[in-house]
Amino acid sequence: MAASSLRSFIKDVRAAKTLADERSIVTKQSAKVRTKLRDDHLPHSKRRTNIQKLLYLYILGEKTHFGQVECINLIASDQFVDKRLGYLATNLLLDEQQDLLTLLTNMLNNDLTHLNKYIVSLALMTLGSLSSNELARDLYPDVEAIMQSSKDPFLLKKALQVVAKLICKDASLLEIFPLGFLTTNILSSGLLPTHGVWLGVCKVLTAILSNITSEVPEPTINEIVQQLKVLTPQLLSKLSSLNTKNLEPAFDVQGVQDPFLQCELISTLKWIFKISTELDAKDVLSFTDKFSDLLTQLATNTDTHKNPGQAVLYEITRTIFDLNMSQPLRILGINILGNFLKTGKGVKLNNNIKYVALNTLIDVVKREPDAVQRHRTFISSCLYDPDISIKFRSLELTFAILNEDNLLELVKEIICFLEKIANPNFDRLSPYVDIDDSKDLIVYSVDHLIEKFDLYPESKESEKLRNLFKILGVVGGIINLDTINEFLITINNITKWADKIGILFEMLQATISNDRANIGSQLVSIWCIGEYADILLKFESNDKVINEISMANYLLKLDSGSRISNNCLLIHYVMTAALKLSSKISEPAAVERLRQIIKSHSKDPNLSIQTKSIQYELIFNQPNNVKRLMLTAMPKFNRNRVVNNDEQTQLRKLQHQQENAKSNTTADLLLDLLSEPAPTKNKNKAPAQHVVLPENSTLINESNQLEVYSFPVSIVEGNAHFELYFKNKGPEVTNLQSLCAVPKTQKLILGQIHPSHNDIGINQFVKQSLKISGSGNLKLRVKLSYTSRDGGPMTEQFDHKFNHSI
């Protein structure tokens, strides 16, 4: 039996125990099929079986080019079964670019005029998915003939669909298409057109309208407009008839009457009104009111709870905004989208519709900002959605609607959100949010918040400052340190001294006595000590935490701490603050400590620190009056912001890039992002931060090129989180891929290589997170592959046993 041979092949593939077994079976069959197909005397049934096997190979992702001609030959057979398989194989194996398509012209030509309607239908199906410009021109008359003469609704709907495809391939065909035939014969014939035929009509209209250019001759345009005048009311009344409560069971999709056709009709009408507006066709545009009424009616009557209804409603809102219809309709559109964001009681959590609603709202918020404002609560509630893409979008939208009026409320909301995602346990609480994702959310929020802080009126400056410190306390350890400059500028520019100093004093008090303050808070405190020490010392307070000695000690402590961690930025800040502080205090012991801080760096291996130390020492030794002149507080600082037109899409791009990076694609998109004309904002987003090896990590493998370290982030019962650090010792490494395996009792979630698996320079680190859940001893097998600049592609493999178990 012929069929069983295919069956046994599939069975063999499925039964293969190992990948190698499977490969050998597949390769063997592939070779066999290849030889068999070359044999001209092979009986038809055998030929069919071999083509079927070829198709199975295609599904498996094997090479099948050798069989392409054979597939086409099979179409030439007289038998229906041969033709059917031949057409299927041709459709799957060939694509529109191939020269082989010309071989099809004659066969399609014959089959389109075949007496057997099933064969005609196969030929139409093929022409619909595989056509080139030449095929379109050559075969269009045949297709039109089928459309004109066929009484079979199956052939009619297919012919219409194919006409639409051919017009898209060769736009000049729209000039010869008899549009009048649609109105006079198809839509108003005695037979009611089926829904399939309606779909076909919509496709043809859309194809014609979307391909109208200025090159289409005037008479054709006039003819089209004339026909549209007749067609538009026909489409409107069909659409209106679908919006009924009396559902026909054949078209009932979860309580909505044929949502497919509804969407198609709405979208076709959208094209009609769009083109009519461009052509200023008054006859057609006179139906605009009717269309608006119908859309309003659809919007009220369509069930919003299930996907089919949502699809129709979504299409309505898109139409409203694409055509920029009247304001009441635009507000209706916003309200439909706003409703999608609700997840009230009894309404099933539906992320799909939230996702599309947020996407559209982001696009249209500029046009109806007030209407969007009304849905603020629901937008904010989407911040806490488990889906990261919804989080990102609602955050973007939140910033888009943030203005003077709702500033206080929304800032509070966002800080609350930051507190939640900055919680170190957050990724464990919500396992689907990657730690890198929440970092991006934080960085994005903080950047935009600081920008929005300019909106604070002068009377609210103390609140602004308090919020600033609150943010700093929550996320100061996570944000990029470049952003600290923005914080400092904001602090610097606040002019209401009375409030400012009080708040600074409290902040400093808190950080000085807190050993675990985050790096962001530390930097800001250091800077404030340098700038405002004199005023702070005059501040009346019962607390004696802040005095000359304690400030100097604080700097000294951070300085010696940063020597170990080798944090250059902190050292720079400390030195400048020490210099400035020295001009503001008189206690000799404190001054001496400051001098020691500066002097101690005069032999620093880091050249810029060394230079700074030596220069500062010179200034340090100047008499006090000279020093004071040089070291006065900063003047008000004007920001020069580069306005980035692309702002709106940036976050999505960023996220998109991430999603792609996660699937280990090449870093093209990453490069795109970096090579954009560099507006200042971008530097915060480019993932160019250097990875530094944490202190208590252990070396687990070493080769000529790579050192691999592991660092336990957290190990609890049932769960362990590690980070692997790769250090490149040799020449530049690109395309580093790391695959890890754990024992069967455990599950592993492998993160992406951070910041990039490409272009890892000498002595640079990259990291990757491993989340292991399950039980047993922690063991790991790691396989690394990469391309070294000198050595070409390399692979390494090693095993490592941790001293822990979960």
Considering only 67, 86, 259, 473, the residue that binds another protein (CB under 8 A) is 259
Q: Helix (H, G, I), strand (E, B), or coil: what is residue 77? A: coil
Q: Which is nearer to another protein, 362 or 491 (CB)?
A: 362
Q: How far is the CB of 69 from another protein (least distance, A)?
A: 19
Name, in order, each residue with C-beta under 8 angstroms of 543's C-beta and a sequence gap of 6 or more. 509
Residue 363 in contact with another protein, rule: CB under 8 A: no
What is the rounded end-to-end Cα distance, in angstroms, of the chain?
55
Considering only 25, 42, 92, 415, the residue that binds another protein (CB under 8 A) is 92
Phi, psi of 308 (to 5 degrees): -60, -45
Q: With CB under 8 A as the contact rule, which of the stretches 177-185, 194-202, 229-237, 575-583 interacts with another protein?
A: 194-202
Q: With CB under 8 A as the contact rule, which of the stretches 35-43, 191-199, 218-226, 478-486 interacts with another protein?
A: 191-199
What is the four-CA torsion angle of 499, 500, 503, 506, rounded to 10 degrees?
-120
User: Cα–Cα distance between 608 and 517 in angstroms, integer?
Assistant: 26
Considering only 12, 105, 355, 419, the residue that binds another protein (CB under 8 A) is 355
Q: With CB under 8 A as the contact rule, which of the stretches 154-162, 400-408, 564-572, 785-793 interacts with another protein?
A: 154-162
Cα→Cα distances 799→240, 395, 700, 802, Å:
68, 43, 9, 10
Considering only 307, 547, 600, 735, the residue that binds another protein (CB under 8 A) is 307
Other beta carbons less than 10 A from residue 488's beta carbon? 18
Q: With CB under 8 A as the contact rule, which of the stretches 162-170, 506-514, 521-529, 636-644 interacts with another protein?
A: 162-170
Q: How far is the CB of 517 from another protein (least distance, A)?
A: 36
Q: How far is the CB of 124 from another protein (least distance, A)?
A: 8
User: Cα–Cα distance between 357 and 364 in angstroms, integer?
Assistant: 11
Count Cα atoms within 13 angstroms, Cβ side, for 199: 15
> Which 402-421 residues touch another protein, going by CB under 8 A?
none
- How remote is the C-alpha of 87 from its chain's centroid? 38
Q: Which is nearer to another protein, 433 or 443 (CB)?
A: 433
> Which 743-772 residues touch another protein, going by CB under 8 A?
none
User: Cα–Cα distance between 240 and 238 in angstroms, integer?
Assistant: 5
Q: How far is the CB of 203 from another protein (least distance, A)?
A: 6
> Which 206-245 residues touch another protein, going by CB under 8 A?
206
User: Cα–Cα distance between 354 and 342 in angstroms, integer?
Assistant: 8
Q: How many chain residues touch another protein (CB under 8 A)? A: 76
Q: How far is the CB of 66 from another protein (least distance, A)?
A: 17
Q: Which is nearer to another protein, 614 or 669 (CB)?
A: 669
Q: With CB under 8 A as the contact rule, which of the stretches 85-93, 504-512, 714-722, 777-785 interacts with another protein?
A: 85-93
Helices (H), 681-794: 682-685
User: Cα–Cα distance between 237 and 12 in angstroms, integer?
Assistant: 57
Residue 665 in contact with another protein, rule: CB under 8 A: yes
- DSSP conformation class of 67: G
Q: Which is nearer to another protein, 3 or 634 (CB)?
A: 3
Cβ contact 781:740 at 8 Å: yes
Q: Which two tokens stand for residue 190?
A: 């005695």
Q: With CB under 8 A as the contact rule, which of the stretches 65-73, 460-468, 657-665, 685-693 interacts with another protein?
A: 657-665
Q: Which is nearer to another protein, 61 or 792 (CB)?
A: 61
Q: How far is the CB of 431 from another protein (least distance, A)?
A: 9
Q: How far is the CB of 156 from another protein (least distance, A)?
A: 11
Q: With CB under 8 A as the contact rule, which of the stretches 188-196, 470-478, 554-562, 596-604 interacts with another protein?
A: 188-196
Considering only 71, 72, 74, 85, the residue that binds another protein (CB under 8 A) is 85
- How remote is the C-alpha of 151 from its chain's centroid? 48
Q: Which is nearer to another protein, 2 or 693 (CB)?
A: 2
Q: How far is the CB of 261 from another protein (least distance, A)?
A: 7
> Which 709-748 residues touch another protein, going by CB under 8 A?
none
Per-position x/- string for 102-141, each x denoting binding to another protein as judged by CB under 8 A, each - no binding:
----------------x-----xx--xx------------
User: Cα–Cα distance between 455 and 405 in angstroms, integer?
Assistant: 10
Considering only 111, 142, 258, 548, the residue that binds another protein (CB under 8 A) is 258
Q: Which is nearer to another protein, 125 or 614 (CB)?
A: 125
Q: How far is the CB of 691 from another protein (least distance, A)?
A: 23
Is 181 exposed, middle or buried (CB count within 10 Å of its CB: 0-12, 13-18, 19+)? Answer: middle
Helices (H), 280-306: 282-285, 288-301
User: Cα–Cα distance between 427 and 42 in angstroms, integer?
Assistant: 62
Other beta carbons less than 10 A from residue 747's beta carbon? 10
Query: What order do you get walking across the sheet with 792-805 strand by strand?
Result: 733-741, 777-788, 792-805
Q: Which two tokens stand for residue 658?
A: 């991430």
User: Cα–Cα distance between 444 and 684 in angstroms, integer?
Assistant: 9
> Which 9-68 residues touch another protein, going by CB under 8 A?
10, 14, 52, 55-56, 58-61
Considering only 5, 183, 211, 267, the residue that binds another protein (CB under 8 A) is 267
Count Cα atoms within 13 angstroms, Cβ side, for 196: 10
H or E segment and range at residue 667: none
Phi, psi of 791 (to 5 degrees): -95, -5
Phi, psi of 321 (to 5 degrees): -80, -30
> Which 371-390 residues touch another protein, going by CB under 8 A?
386-387, 389-390
- DSSP conformation class of 214: T
Q: With CB under 8 A as the contact rule, which of the stretches 176-184, 314-322, 527-535, 579-587 interacts with another protein?
A: 314-322
Strand partners, 774: 746
Per-position x/- string for 414-453, each x denoting binding to another protein as judged by CB under 8 A, each - no binding:
------------------x---------------------
Considering only 253, 331, 510, 671, the residue that binds another protein (CB under 8 A) is 253
Considering only 36, 47, 53, 158, the residue that binds another protein (CB under 8 A) is 158
Considering only 195, 448, 500, 685, the residue that binds another protein (CB under 8 A) is 195
Q: How far is the CB of 397 from another protein (least distance, A)?
A: 15
Considering only 47, 318, 439, 721, the residue that binds another protein (CB under 8 A) is 318
User: Cα–Cα distance between 449 and 478 in angstroms, integer?
Assistant: 15
Q: How far is the CB of 125 from another protein (least distance, A)?
A: 5
Query: By C-alpha distance, which of 181, 193, 116, 102 is closest to 149?
Result: 181
Considering only 24, 194, 566, 704, the residue that binds another protein (CB under 8 A) is 194
User: Cα–Cα distance between 641 and 571 in angstroms, integer?
Assistant: 28
Q: Helix (H, G, I), strand (E, B), or coil: what is residue 691? A: coil
Q: With CB under 8 A as the contact rule, which of the stretches 254-262, 469-477, 513-521, 613-621 interacts with another protein?
A: 254-262
Q: Which two tokens stand for residue 302?
A: 């369509």
Residue 161 in contact with another protein, rule: CB under 8 A: yes
Cβ contact 92:123 at 8 Å: no
Q: Which two tokens stand for residue 108?
A: 């399609």
User: Cα–Cα distance between 468 and 415 in angstroms, integer?
Assistant: 10
Q: Which is nearer to another protein, 96 or 303 (CB)?
A: 96
Residue 352 in contact with another protein, rule: CB under 8 A: yes
Residue 500 in contact with another protein, rule: CB under 8 A: no
